[in-house]
Amino acid sequence: MAPDSTAVEKDKNSMCKAMGALFLQHRVACMEKEVEASKQEKNRCSIGRRLNKGKDAQQAATATATSSSSKTTLAASDGLASRACRGRASRLKNEASHSATNAHPASKVTVVDSSVLIYSLRTVHQWLKTGDVQVVVPLESMRTLDLLKNGDSPINVAARKAARFLEDNFCQTAAQTSLSAGLLPQCDGMQRLDVEQARLISGHGEDDGDQDDLARAPVWVRESLLCALWHQQKVAALPSSATSSMRPKFALALAFPPPQQGAATPVRYAERADGANVLSWTGAYGLRQSGSGDDENQDASILIAPTSTSWLDLANGKRGCPQQGRCHSDQGAGPHPGTVMPSPKQGHDHR
């Protein structure tokens, strides 16, 4: 009996091993099928992703091509200038300006100092509504807004408002090379004379030590004036066959802060937004004020924009915030760039 039971036990063990081997083979086969199916599914997903990625890339390229036409050329400057370069300035709320940019050449070319954007922003609104003015904003004007935008003082609030206005109203870059109407930024690294060219205009020598030499001016004054001189030369270099009625008139627009009533806490960088600082350097470079008696220089003139009513109210102790609310309803249209206004004398009340 013992030998028989041993044989039966061996048969059972053999059968168990065989069944175990079959079970393992079955599991291996199932796992191989699952791996193969997973690879195929992964390939299908990869192909789908590549197809979708291709579509997305095409859509992105189309969107980039569309948006690139509305990017401004303000690289190499902080804050507002760099945001404009990234295309945030593509929103055009001023339809009249936008339409004029596409259809009408400018009869006036006006370079605006940061003082105009701070103290007379409504004047820029009115110029753009006329549809015949090309308003150019130098890079240094935008840097000034960036430096002034942080803080709670009225000039800080005005700088933030002006920065938003520029972002919303800068025209397409296609207008940079033309004399179309609209609001345009200075091209980065372009649209400026160098100091040597400015010396030729003024007659200064390199080592004559003249106090009017732009090399001695603060950087924000120098760069803004070099931009203005570039556009003045561009207008002056139009073909000689152009009649005086066809040639755009050039102006550098400045504005002055309201008179200070009593002691006021100075705001850092506020001097950069005072048009008097730029005005003191203009005479030697062919930029004339009204009443100079030189009619030949009317295309290279200084335009003094009126200080906003809200700023004057604030200076007189009335409540309100500059460039907000009443600025749009109480202030007049301001001078057209073709109308040159006299400026106050240096060191006097800038009313």
Q: In a structure prediction context, what are the per-residue pLDDT tens digits for the chain, which is 351 residues long?
A: 455 678 877 777 788 878 888 888 888 888 888 888 777 766 655 545 554 555 555 555 555 544 444 444 344 345 555 555 444 444 434 444 444 445 478 889 999 999 999 999 999 999 999 989 999 999 999 999 999 999 999 999 999 999 999 999 988 654 555 778 899 999 876 777 887 877 777 665 555 555 667 778 898 998 999 899 898 888 888 775 544 557 788 999 999 999 875 556 788 999 999 999 999 888 777 787 754 444 444 455 899 999 998 888 887 766 555 554 433 333 344 555 544 444 333 333 333
In a domain, 66, yes or no: no
Say how many domains are in the chain. 1
Determine, yes or no, domain membership for 22.
no
Residue 131 tokens read as 């549809």
What DSSP assignment string belongs to 166-223?
HHHHB--GGGGGS-BSEEEEPPTT-S---HHHHHHHHT--TTS--TT-GGGS-HHHHH
Has residue 286 been placed in a domain? yes
C-alpha span between 236 and 229 (Å, rounded): 10
Q: What is the pLDDT of residue 128?
A: 94
Q: Which domain holds residue 185?
A: 80-330
User: What pLDDT is attached to residue 282?
Assistant: 86
Task: Tell me if 16 is assigned to some domain.
Answer: no
Number of other residues whose CB lies within 10 A of the CB of residue 314 = 17
**Contact between residue 170 and residue 72 where contact means Cβ atoms under 8 Å apart:** yes
CB 273 within 8 A of CB 257: yes
Question: Under DSSP, is residue 136 helix (H, G, I), strand (E, B) or coil?
Answer: strand
Burial class (CB in 10 A: 0-12, 13-18, 19+), 208: exposed
Q: Strand 249-254 relative to strand 182-185: parallel, antiparallel, unpaired?
A: unpaired
Task: Write the CATH number for 113.
Answer: 3.40.50.1010
pLDDT at 72: 40
Residue 96, in any domain of the structure: yes
Q: How far apart are CA 59 and CA 57, in angstroms?
A: 5
Instruction: Give alpha helix (H) positions in the chain.
Output: 2-68, 80-85, 95-103, 114-119, 121-130, 139-148, 154-169, 195-202, 219-236, 275-279, 309-315, 326-330
In eight-state DSSP terms, residue 317 is T
Does residue 346 lie in a domain region? no
Half-sphere exposure in the Cβ direction for 204 (13 Å, CA): 21
Q: Give SS3 for 108.
A: strand
Residue 198: exposure state from Cβ atoms within 10 A (0-12, 13-18, ≥19): buried
